[in-house]
Amino acid sequence: MNILNKYKHLSAFLLLGPLCFGQYQFEVKNVSKSYDAVIQIEDCYDDRCGGKGTVELFDRKNSKVQTFISDDLILYTEQGQKPIQGKLIPLLKDQRAVIIDDFNFDGTEDVAIRNGNMGNYSGASYDVYVFNKTRMGFVKSEELTELGSNGLDIFDVDAQRKRLISYGKSGCCDIFTTEYAVIPNKGLDKVFEKEEDMSVEGSVKVTTKEKINNKWITKTKVYPSDQYNRNKK
């Protein structure tokens, strides 16, 4: 191991201080273009970790940027990895305990931290923090946290159309898709809804509602189930 890389790795570990001991610790290098992350979690069993935890972001100079706290920081380790208390375990970027993206389309990265399974049908839920240029730090967004905690998982980010897309379902046969535009200094504006009703055997009833010029336009169409492609726009 290169001696410089060794000490760089060690310095992040030492910055965590005495709270590390007795907890399970993980490191995600290049969790985004700007940050690395060190994750500490209370409990691990087999490949699943959860309970109280923290995520600490480090910049490219290995300086700690901010600490985030979660009451239930759920994480799944990679195949063949065995968490050991006090040992720093490397994880891949797609570990899903911490997700970094530009959620409000202002050109700066924001942070989502896993916090339990409070979503639709016990789906993953997230606390969402947006970067505040005035405070030069991440501030929790109640609106985005609510959106990130009510779907089947965290919302999708469509950077090209500047939309946040949330998914949900009801029973076996109803799937819901909701799109939101992000209005600067105002918040989320629901602009599109789609319901795919598969309760009648052999058919799919699709109802869409789209907000155009502040008016909702509703359309309904029924497709044969063997010809319906729900991924087609």
What are the CA-CA distances from residue 140 to residues 113, 128, 224 (Å)?
Answer: 10, 6, 44
Determine the average pLDDT of the residues in 105-122: 95
Distance CA 98, CA 29 (A): 12
Low-confidence winner among 72-81, 117-126, 131-140 (lowest mean pLDDT):
72-81
Q: How confident is the model at residue 149 (pLDDT cuts 50, 70, 90)?
A: very high
Residue 15, pLDDT > 50, answer: no
Residue 82: its pLDDT value, please? 86
The C-alpha atoms of residue 40 and residue 21 are separated, in whole angstroms, by 10
Averaged pLDDT for residues 92-121? 93
pTM (whole model) above 0.95:
no
Decide which of 116 and 86 is more confident: 116
pLDDT of 13 > 50? The answer is no
The answer, yes or no, to whether residue 184 has pLDDT greater than 90, is no
Note the pLDDT of residue 92: 81
Report residue 10's pLDDT band, with 50, 70 and 90 as the boundaries. Answer: very low
Tokens 């898709």 sit at which residue? 177
Q: How confident is the model at residue 11 (pLDDT cuts 50, 70, 90)?
A: very low
What's residue 158's pLDDT?
97
The mean pLDDT value of the chain amounts to: 88
- pLDDT band of residue 160 (cuts 50, 70, 90) is very high
pLDDT attached to residue 232: 67
Rounded distance, CA 97 to CA 39, Å? 9
Percent of the chain exceeding pLDDT 90 equals 73
Sheet order of strands, 137-140 included: 98-101, 110-114, 126-132, 137-140
Residue type present at position 33? K
- The predicted pLDDT at position 47 comes to 85
Least confident segment among 10-14, 62-66, 116-120, 129-133: 10-14
d(CA 61, CA 55): 17
8 A C-beta contact, residue 209 and residue 200:
no
**Rounded distance between C-alpha atoms, residue 86 and residue 163, angstroms:** 41
Q: What is the mean pLDDT of residues 165-189?
A: 94
In terms of Cα–Cα distance, which of 36, 10, 8, 41 is closest to 25?
Answer: 41
Is beta strand 126-132 parallel, antiparallel or unpaired with respect to 64-70? unpaired
pLDDT at 14: 43
pLDDT for res 22? 53
Model confidence over 50-74: pLDDT tens digits?
999 999 999 999 999 999 999 999 9
